[in-house]
Amino acid sequence: MKKIVIEQLEQRGITVDDIALIVFDLQKSYYPGLEKEVCLEAIDAVLEKREVQYAVLTGLALDVLAEQDLLPEPISTIIKMDESLYGIDEILALAITNIYGTIGITSFGYLDKMKIGLIGRLDSSLGYVNTFADDIVAAIASAAAAKIAHNQKGNGKYHH
Ligand code: MG
């Protein structure tokens, strides 16, 4: 299932490498000497979780269906326009950030505002519907950052 999730993310122009850059950005000031490999491992652990996989697949499917005009109205237009009051994209993303507790939610709010790296590119890519994708990326990055924070607290021991 994780393989399918990574493939579907890539089909939408999202690579784990790009997400790792965001995680690195979030955590570098807290952990000097943080390596990209640690960020990639944390993302991998996040993508291992079934509730994360389901949230990613659901969000990406809705983006694709909206893009292809396959959703009924009025939701088709609402998702295509990324209506500011819609908010279900953020709600879905919370299913991802929640897995490692509140640290993830704080980072998610920050990324949602700052639109770092790939998140900004997704947010402004013309011709594509990325209403769910930008929040999914922000959520995976936040959850991975939270996992790194938890691991550091436990002296490098992994808590699953
Ligand atoms: Mg969005």
Domain ranges of the chain: 2-151
85-130 pLDDT, tens per residue?
999 999 999 999 999 888 888 899 889 888 888 888 887 778 899 9
Q: How far is the CA of 47 from the centre of ligand 1 (A)?
A: 20
Give the model's pLDDT for residue 160. Answer: 41
Q: How far is the CA of 145 from the centre of ligand 1 (A)?
A: 20
Q: How far is the CA of 68 from the centre of ligand 1 (A)?
A: 18
125-160 pLDDT, tens per residue?
788 999 999 999 999 999 999 999 988 765 444 444
Near ion ligand 1, which residues have CB within 5 Å?
89, 131, 134-135
| Residue in the structure block whose two tokens are 């998610």 | 108
Dihedral sign, CA of 47, 110, 14, 94?
A: positive
Q: How far is the CA of 93 from the centre of ligand 1 (A)?
A: 9
Q: How far is the CA of 134 from the centre of ligand 1 (A)?
A: 5
Contact 23, 42 (CB under 8 A): yes
Can you read off the two tokens belonging to residue 80?
Answer: 């295509």
**Runs of H (alpha helix) within 48-132:** 50-67, 75-81, 88-97, 102-114, 118-123
Please name the helix (run of DSSP H) or strand (run of DSSP E) that holds residue 99, with its range, or none: none
* Residues of the chain above pLDDT 90, percent: 69
Contact 62, 132 (CB under 8 A): yes
Q: Which fold has domain 2-151?
A: YutG-like (1.10.3760)
Coil vs helix vs strand at 143: helix
Give the model's pLDDT for residue 4. Answer: 98
* Residues of the chain above pLDDT 70, percent: 95
